[in-house]
Amino acid sequence: MITPTPEFWEVFKETNGALSCTEAVAIMNIAAQAPEGLFLEAGSFHGKSAMAAAYGLRDGSFYMLDPIFEDRTIADKVQDLVFDIHFCNIDTIALEEYSIDFIPKFKDYSYVFVDSGSHQDGLPMQEVKLLEDRMVQGGIIAFHDFRSQFVEVEGAYNYLLSTGKYEEIIIDWNEIIEYVNANNLEEGNSSWHHNELKNPCFVGALKRK
């Protein structure tokens, strides 16, 4: 299991965003299974989940989308933040663009993290149908707010499984939670929406066969 440095956690906890340390460990270990190439995050906010993914990703180009990147000061900060986390050759590009407009521009994604919009109004299904045949073999689609109150996210996940083109990535939550709790990592990381939970773990992932 990949576990980051204390310096990573210091920056991570200072970054605004609804992501637990438990979820971050899951994301970096999921991303580590993706081939090198083209990476996309739909819904980056201030870069918290992108930091986690970049810790595990191989060489490639990482596009990060969010409406707040209309402010280029924020966009540039996120680009630099995520670039500095990575240990290999990765380009980081933060764009003010919507996922359903951006996804059709490429046909060979290696890693995509879906966390855009309100996770309602049919958007998760629109996104996965656009991604369905645009992932390389072994490419990974990961989801935030999976198996939460946002039922459309799990519906989109189940749709991809039903196509027979994808298989589930099994996340060892017990191992991750044991590591997080042993190191008291969630202390000081209180920016997620489920403050009543000790270890929020709303992440799921699928791999293209």
**Three-class DSSP category at 64:** strand
One DSSP character per residue, 90-158 reads EEEEEE---HHHHGGG-S-EEEEEE--TTS-TTHHHHHHHHHTTTEEEEEEEEEESTTSS-HHHHHHHH
- Within a domain: 37: yes
Domain of residue 118: give its range: 6-190+197-208
- Within a domain: 75: yes
**Three-class DSSP category at 16:** coil
- Within a domain: 1: no
- Within a domain: 77: yes
What total of structural domains would you count in the chain?
1
For residue 192, pLDDT beyond 80: no
> Vertex 152, ends 74 and 100: CA angle to 5°?
50
β-bridge mates for residue 207, sequence order = 140, 167
pTM of the model: 0.94
- Within a domain: 147: yes
**How do residues 93-137 score in pLDDT, each as one tens digit?**
999 999 999 999 999 999 999 998 778 889 999 999 999 999 999
**How do residues 127-183 score in pLDDT, each as one tens digit?**
999 999 999 999 999 999 998 888 999 999 999 999 999 999 999 999 999 999 999
**How do residues 55-108 score in pLDDT, each as one tens digit?**
999 999 999 999 999 999 999 999 999 998 876 688 999 999 999 999 999 999
For residue 191, pLDDT beyond 70: no
**How do residues 25-37 score in pLDDT, each as one tens digit?**
999 999 999 999 9
Rounded-to-integer distance, Cα 135 and Cα 194, Å: 31
CATH number of the domain enclosing 93: 3.40.50.150
In this structure, what is the dihedral angle of CA atoms 207, 67, 107, 28, given to the nearest 10 degrees?
Answer: -30
Rounded-to-integer distance, Cα 107 and Cα 92, Å: 19
- Within a domain: 105: yes
Tell the burial category of 133 from Cβ atoms under 10 Å away from its Cβ (0-12, 13-18, 19+): exposed
Rounded-to-integer distance, Cα 135 and Cα 127, Å: 12
- Within a domain: 154: yes
